[in-house]
Structure 1
Amino acid sequence: MKITISNSSNEPTYKQIFNDIQQAILQGELKDGEALPSIRNLAKALNVSVITTKRAYDTLEHENYIKTVPGKGSYVAKQNSEVIHKKQLLILQDQLTLAIQTAKLLRLNLSEIQEMITLLYRNELENEDNDKESL
């Protein structure tokens, strides 16, 4: 699991930690029941305060991504595949909203945005096909 902290980000540090762990869970990089680093070890590794990592873990637990067992640590909670799919769609929606806002700043119209998405999607499919052929 890779967690990247950007000091220049407008997003609070705990939220950056939350987002990276959430993504790792939603993408299947972290599996059900897998142990997470201790709050202290993660804080030390990221060079942030223990309070910051505790807040990230508390938020992850509140949103049912992890379970904490007192004295034993924090573990990835069992995820419902339908719930994961809905959460992934919400993340995609947020990313597309940001892309649309950027496109509007560039004064692109809807057809130009659609054309760009179509080209990117087709390129991605071609890359997948090329990756399969190289195996």
Structure 2
Amino acid sequence: MRIIVSNSSNDPIYEQISSQIKSMIIKGELEVGEGLPSIRGLAKGLQISVITTKRAYEELEKEGFIETIQGKGSFVAMQNKELMKEKKLKIIEEKLVEVVNESKLLGLNYREIEEMLRILFEEV
């Protein structure tokens, strides 16, 4: 499992970790029942605080992406993939509403936003 943490990101480190793990689960890169690195192991590998990785795992567990078994570790929980996809689509939609609102404030038209999106989609 490869997780990249960026100090230049506006997102807190625990959110970066949890969102990357969620993405891996949604894409099927992490299967149901698959074990995650221990909290200490992940913290050591990423050279971050154990408290930060613990918070990321707690968020994932609260949202139902993982389950933790005392003394055994954390594992990918059984998921309804369609429901997870729907949640992600809602998040994307909310972010796009923000983009549309900001674009209108700047006087940008649909074609300009479409072009920006096309360029970003090709680059990322």
| TM-score, with length taken from structure 1 | 0.75
Highest CA radius of gyration, 1 or 2? 1
The alpha carbon displacement at 1:81 in A equals: 2.4
**Contact residue 5 and residue 16 of structure 1 kept, 8 A:** yes
Question: How far apart, CA to CA, are the structure 1 residues paired with 2:2 and 2:94?
Answer: 21
- Write the distance in 2 (CA, Å) between the matches of 1:11 and 1:88: 17
Aligned-CA RMSD value = 2.5
Runs of 4 or more, structure 1, over 4 Å off, are 101-106
Q: Which residue of 2 aligns with 1:10?
A: 10
CA distance in 1, matches of 2:39, 2:97: 33
Q: Flag structure 2 segments of 5+ consecutive residues without an equivalent.
A: none
Cα distance in 2, alignment partners of residues 30 and 94 from structure 1: 26
**CA distance in structure 1 between the partners assigned to 2:19 and 2:26 by the alignment:** 10
For 1:38, the equivalent position in structure 2 comes to: 38
Query: Shift in Å at residue 99 of structure 1?
Result: 4.3
Deviations, residues 46-69 of structure 1 (Å, cap 9, x unaligned): 000111000000110000000001
In 1, Cα distance between equivalents of 2:48 and 2:97: 31
1:84 is matched with: 84
Aligned to 1:55: 55
State whether residues 26 and 88 of structure 1, in contact with CA within 8 Å, keep that contact through their aligned partners in structure 2.
no
Aligned pairs (5 A) from 1:110-121 = 110-114=110-114, 116=115, 120=118
